[in-house]
Every structure is written in C-alpha cells, then in structure tokens.
C-alpha cells in the first residue's frame, strides 16, 4: 500500500488560532483528520507529524526513506531558511511535495525564496487547508497511483 508522510513544521501546531486571516480557522487536528480521510478514500496510508524543531524535521525525513513512498512537507518558515531540510531531501532522494497554506509569492519578499523547491517534485500554495488534499492527490499521481 502506498504510504505518505505529511510533515508539518514550526508554528503549524497553532493553526486555527494563529493569524486566521492568513492561515484560516482550521486546526492542525482538523488538517490531520482530513488527510487521513482523504488518503483512506484513495487507498493509501498517511501518517501525520509536526515539529517546531528543525532537527526533528530532518530526522523525520531521514526516517521516511524506506518507510514511506513520499512526503508532503509544510516546512513553515524553515522553507525560507533551512539548507538542512534541503540537504535531507536531496540526501534521501525522497519525493517531496512542498506545501503552504498561504500564497507565499503574494506575501513578504523574504517568503519568495524556498530552499525546498529545488529538491521538491512540486509546490502547492495558497489554497489553505485544501492544499493538503491537493498535495496528496499530486503525490499519488507522481507515484503512479495507489499500490
């Protein structure tokens, strides 16, 4: 069975209360439940994890190799600063889809640079919580469908 890790970075544990005008009112628990339901309906398995710590995210990507078929990564602010996440993705050669709730290209200029994009299969941004379902569907398509 196809298995995907949905990995969320810093401050995403505050979803629903942190800047809802930008990130919406959907909580991380809501997002995770939506991901599991969406995946089950498509015949794949999803595991969701979140950490505010860069090293824990790197460790999760390392551990994903051989355990998961792909990773949906919302690295939060680490997108714009973490060479370590870039190197973890490149080093494991895991297919990763970069995800953002907001349209990072319509926000502050420092958010326009992504260290994840050069090693990601693609990027989905600006669709709020719906982006997770879109990213899971994109990963299924990239992997050739559920197995």
Q: Answer yes or no: 115 catalytic.
A: no
Lookup: tokens for 81: 């600063």
35: domain CATH number is 3.40.50.9100
**pTM, 2 dp:** 0.94
Q: What is the chain's mean pLDDT, rounded?
A: 94
CA distances from 52 to 66, 106, 133 (A): 24, 24, 22
Residue from 23, 78, 115, 132 carrying the catalytic annotation: 23
| pLDDT of 108 strictly over 90 | no
pLDDT for residue 61 is more than 90: yes
Q: How far apart are CA 111 and CA 105, in angstroms?
A: 7
- The encoded tokens of residue 76 equal 């939060």
Residue 105's pLDDT is: 83
Let me know if 100 is a catalytic residue. yes
131 is in which domain, residue-wise? 3-143
Catalytic residue among 38, 100, 115, 132: 100
Domain tally for the chain? 1
């Amino acid at each position: 069975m196809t298995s995907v890790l949905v990995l969320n970075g810093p401050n995403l544990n505050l979803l629903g209360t942190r800047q809802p005008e930008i990130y919406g009112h959907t909580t991380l628990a809501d997002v995770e439940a939506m991901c599991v339901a969406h995946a089950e309906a498509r015949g794949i398995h999803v595991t969701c994890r979140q950490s505010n710590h860069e090293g824990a995210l790197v460790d999760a990507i390392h551990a994903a190799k051989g355990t998961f078929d792909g990773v949906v990564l919302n690295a939060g602010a680490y997108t714009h600063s973490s060479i370590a996440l870039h190197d973890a993705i490149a080093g494991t050669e895991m297919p990763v889809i970069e995800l953002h709730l907001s349209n990072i290209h319509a926000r502050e200029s420092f958010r326009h640079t992504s260290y994840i994009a050069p090693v990601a299969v693609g990027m989905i941004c600006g669709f709020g919580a719906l982006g997770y379902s879109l990213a899971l569907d994109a990963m299924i398509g990239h992997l050739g469908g559920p197995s």
